[in-house]
Structure 1
């Protein structure tokens, strides 16, 4: 175990605080010291609340001394994507429009983590209104990748990916509508869980696309994500789409072996036109799973390009509908790329949108039939490792849509189908950039992909590697 508390995993630090081998104040101070060291080069935080965090940590320690423990994360400091409403705090959503917006309510997911005893470190940077896959932000500047600050973090949960990778926070909430948890996890070398639509309440989280948005964590490990999911998941009166019913034992699932499980590999699309290093790392990841006892089989999936196109119709239309009033009243307060994409959404016909929505059920049924013989699928998150900030800074140029489509083409079909997906670090390029793979499960079977991810992480150390300050 590292002597620097901030380098511990979420699960480990929660146990250490509970066992009184380290105090909440010591842990919080350790995180704040790393934030002070890394923030100038990463730009991962939107706000840093050092004094308030230390006061909350002291209060958590005092409560524990009196035998009063809030929950499983009592005294653990965390920071989250700046789109989760937190009553009394400014929540910018990465935008100029909401630069001074003070929330009057707290999002359900965030409140459940607060009820578990967490301490707020501040808020994390993000792409403007969560609408972009790179991590650029014209209002607050790009977030930088701690493995190489010249490279992108991925978006839109850019600050979450960067901060978790640099060990500035033990975990962070992100959101995934078209890949916005999995892409930062892949590019930054952390673990990111896109949940099934309906698994975690979206109440109090800034909406982008009402039928695609999902809430989920980024953390060091699958075990950490399992802990967080168990605390957040479940029904919520404030969100009628949140599913009721008993929850699986997510933490228990991460301790189960994978010997005898069958994992599918797509025969096409997800394995086409990969960067050679991504292809190499994919094959090496499959070899690890085989050594752990999993059966790897080829699976022919339905045409995925149609799913990508349908996802884009749905996302663009729903995002434009949400932003229509601001686009009319405050177009100059948007960044050029986000405004262009929102305006494109206005051009999608009602017929096209309804056809895309109507096709989701049959598309999911076809997918389920194709994967009936496997426990989960594995595939790359993106065909490339992180591009540089300079080469991906395309604004609203004619190259913008091509860049966006290239980065997100392996993530959007999963959003359209509403399925859970876990991005896990699986290796590094020769230039030292992390690469992740995504495990895709059946609806509401997060337990299976967490089980497989945890087994992979017991056999490898990619998730435990920490970037060095340069």
Structure 2
């Protein structure tokens, strides 16, 4: 068996498969061994694994490769799937016991089908915040995945795609499929030292994914590098072509005009985050990027623009029929957030949509002439599980702070990357810090091309 190191770029793994240096089955067995070892040590990255189904898929990809037929650049690579997505023949629990007795899905979710069509080997279903309704990743039903940073301190992996982040960081998958409604890809990516990409909300179809907020839900990858995210994003979006076509050419940092957002997103930063963000800006400037500090006054009113939030209203709509008989088995913290949407009127909902449209208009004006906008992906380093597990007030306070920065992008209907910038590559002692890079809707390929150059500049 040829093991692969965690965070090996997908292109490197694909090249090893093409050259015969390893097989898809060998990559998968390495993942399965790591999953078993993690579970034996009390880890909670996966809710369910299908070893035999994954082995059959890996063997099929190896057989195809031996015929010499041209394969997708994702063919044979082990990918984990967040428990929010339907996989035919499996139960989609969405991180909850309320759905544990649901019937198995009869077909794959659209995103899963596209990965399967590209030859991905589906390793298993990753753990998550129940119904994707938390930025911390705490799950009282299936256990709470933990960040690889300072494992002795039991720090959170971030949510809601918590298991997805851990699966990639610990080499239990080469990359992961997650969802992002208010940061659920970017938070765990930042907390686990990964790259994460939130596409424009309509870019990847949501058919077969359990909804949190259909207005804001986005579906995308957590992976080792920007190029890996670009490849997965293209396949998830249904783009045809080879790896050279699917991954946009790198646009170097030199000559980029980048807005550095100051108000709101730089309040109350953890010192490690502030230092990592400042170091990333220094490296970008040294590489020839033009950085301009900006404030957007309209963003200062986001916290008070309504007593409701879109996820709360839309989540209540999705859960209202189920709550009558199953509310007692919900995570109480998730239930309370869902129930906040119960009293919202149609007028409240329409007012909220109008307020969001006004924010998007303000952002278009403020960001005109810039290639992208920079901010810390998350304001803090991974919090300790003990600090929030039993203290509801602390949980609410920390959850709000963790969600604050990434949620802004969802409200603005944007696309965004988080890129590790908190220390030398492979240095596990450095605090995981993510550099947030975002653009407004439908500039995904443009952002990914720039992201490759920004990544080169800020990675040590």
TM over 0.5: yes
TM-score normalised per structure 2: 0.92
Spell out, residue by residue over 1:144-193, the C-alpha distance to the aligned partner (whole angstroms, 9 max, x if none). 11223300000000001111111211111111111111111111110111
Q: Is the 8 A contact 1:5 1:13 kept in 2?
A: no
Please state if 1:343 is matched with 2:358: no
Q: Which residue does the alignment assign to 2:359?
A: 363
Q: Superposition pairs for residues 419-438 of structure 1, below 5 Å? A: 419-428=414-423, 432-438=430-436
Alignment of 1:39-188 (within 5 A): 39=39, 40-101=41-102, 102-149=104-151, 150-188=154-192
Contact kept? 1:308, 1:409, Cα under 8 Å: no
1:30 positional shift: 1.9
Q: Which moved more, 1:44-53 or 1:379-388?
A: 44-53
How far does the alpha carbon of each residue in 1:96-126 deviate from its partner, in whole angstroms, 9 at most, with x for none? Answer: 1111331112111111111000112111111
Partner residue in 2 for 1:267? 262
Q: Which runs of 4+ in 1 moved over 4 A?
A: 248-252, 308-312, 428-431
Residues matched between the structures, number: 451
Residue 320 in 1 paired to residue 324 in 2? no
Residue pair 1:256, 1:451 contacting (<8 A) in 2 also: yes
Q: Is the 8 A contact 1:259 1:294 kept in 2?
A: yes
Report the alpha carbon displacement of residue 349 of structure 1 after superposing the two structures with TM: 3.3
Q: CA shift at 1:214, angstroms?
A: 0.6
Report the CA distance shift for 1:450/1:394 in structure 2 as closer, same or farther (over 3 A).
Answer: farther
2: CA distance, partners of 1:18 / 1:308:
51
Between the aligned partners of 1:365 and 1:10, the Cα distance in structure 2 is: 37
Q: Which residue of 2 aligns with 1:242?
A: none
Q: 1:250 touches 1:447 (CA, 8 Å); kept in 2? A: no
Q: Deviation digits for residues 121-151 of structure 1, max 9, x if unmatched?
A: 1111111111111111111111111223300
416-425 or 267-276, larger mean C-alpha shift: 267-276
Q: Secondary structure at the match of 2:433?
A: strand
- The 1:7/1:258 distance shift into structure 2, 3 A limit, reads closer
Find out whether 1:208 has 2:209 as its counterpart.
no
Q: CA RMSD in A?
A: 2.5
1:91, 1:100 within 8 Å by CA — same for their partners in 2? no
Structure 2 residue 349 is the aligned partner of structure 1 residue 353: yes
| Residues 261, 55 of structure 1: alpha-carbon distance in 2 compared, 3 angstrom cutoff | same
1:465: which partner in 2?
A: none
Alpha-carbon distance between aligned partners in 2 of 1:59 and 1:180, rounded to the nearest angstrom = 32
2:35 matched residue in structure 1: 35
